Structure 1
Amino acid sequence: MPCKLWLVLSLWLVLPTSEAGRQMPKLSDKKLCADSECSHPILIARALQDYYPGDCRFIPIRQGQLIYVYAMLKDRGNLFWAGSVQDSYYGQQEARIGHFPSSIVEETHPLMPASTEVKTTKWDFYCN
């Protein structure tokens, strides 16, 4: 019996843990977007510094990269935005929408007003 218990514990410690395929805690209950589907970018921003995400809800950003912002999370003082990074060469990086702190970017080109309030869903914070 102790041998089986040791084997189970060993496997549990060795197997990699992943955030993929699970819902993460919500960062906000509401977001501001240009439209009800949040499908149009609100603005283009430039990263002021590198950002290394803490979990899969966020995207990595390098200083100087352009980010297309699609949503601004509303509940916690507009601390986080959702967007997609545009690399210097299109296609160099897989396009993925994720969250990032609004404090690490500067707005460079306004595109559309963020005038539509949309409720967030579990899919806004789902790790895939």
Structure 2
Amino acid sequence: MAHKFLPALSVWLLLVTCEAGRQMPKLSDKKLCADSDCSHPILIARALQDYYPGDCRFIPIRQGQLVYVYSMLKDRGNLFWAGSVQDSYYGEQEARIGHFPSSVVEETQVLMPATTEVKTTKWDFYCN
């Protein structure tokens, strides 16, 4: 009787493991960066609230954390930015760049102007 549940369990495990390592839908075709490689942070922002991501393209943010912003998605009214979270202790969180809504942070320090328009690629929205 327990064998009836094995196919359902296999499908569920397949769905869970397919989220990582696949191309996710693009959030935008262009982004604004400080340079053509988007390798320099544009600004530092502080999280106004906790943010729990809906999928692997996004990063979790806790209220009060500092976020280094590397790019701003150009379409959809600049709703999403990409950056990495700076924890109070460097080793607490693996450094990973991901997207987050710009509405959950406030700019604290501008580092470089975001004047370089760059086309997004599949790697901008790839889940690993």
- TM-score, normalised to structure 1, is 0.91
The counterpart of 1:15, out of the listed 8, 13, 16, is 13
The 2-side partners of 1:93 and 1:7 are apart by 37
The 2-side partners of 1:8 and 1:67 are apart by 43
The 1-side partners of 2:52 and 2:5 are apart by 35
Structure 2 alignment gaps of length 5 or more? none
Cα distance, 1:15 vs structure 2: 2.0
Describe the shift of the 1:89–1:8 C-alpha distance in structure 2 as closer, same or farther (beyond 3 A): closer
Deviations along 1:14-56, whole A, 9 cap, x unmatched?
4252311000000000000000000000000000000000000
**Aligned residue in 2 for 1:69:** 69
Describe the shift of the 1:107–1:13 C-alpha distance in structure 2 as closer, same or farther (beyond 3 A): same
Cα distance, 1:112 vs structure 2: 0.1
Describe the shift of the 1:73–1:90 C-alpha distance in structure 2 as closer, same or farther (beyond 3 A): same
Aligned residue pairs, count: 124
- TM-score, normalised to structure 2, is 0.91
Structure 1 alignment gaps of length 5 or more? none
**Aligned residue in 1 for 2:106:** 106
Percentage of identical aligned residues: 84
Q: Considering fraction of residues, name the structure with more helix.
A: 2
Paired residue type of 2:78: N
SS class of match (2:91)? coil
Paired residue type of 2:83: G
Cα distance, 1:13 vs structure 2: 3.5
- Bigger radius of gyration among the two: 1
Describe the shift of the 1:82–1:8 C-alpha distance in structure 2 as closer, same or farther (beyond 3 A): same
The 2-side partners of 1:13 and 1:32 are apart by 40
Cα distance, 1:7 vs structure 2: 6.9
SS class of match (1:91)? helix
The 2-side partners of 1:74 and 1:7 are apart by 46
Cα distance, 1:11 vs structure 2: 4.2
1:1-128 pair list within 5 angstroms = 9-16=7-14, 17-18=16-17, 19-128=19-128
The 2-side partners of 1:34 and 1:9 are apart by 50
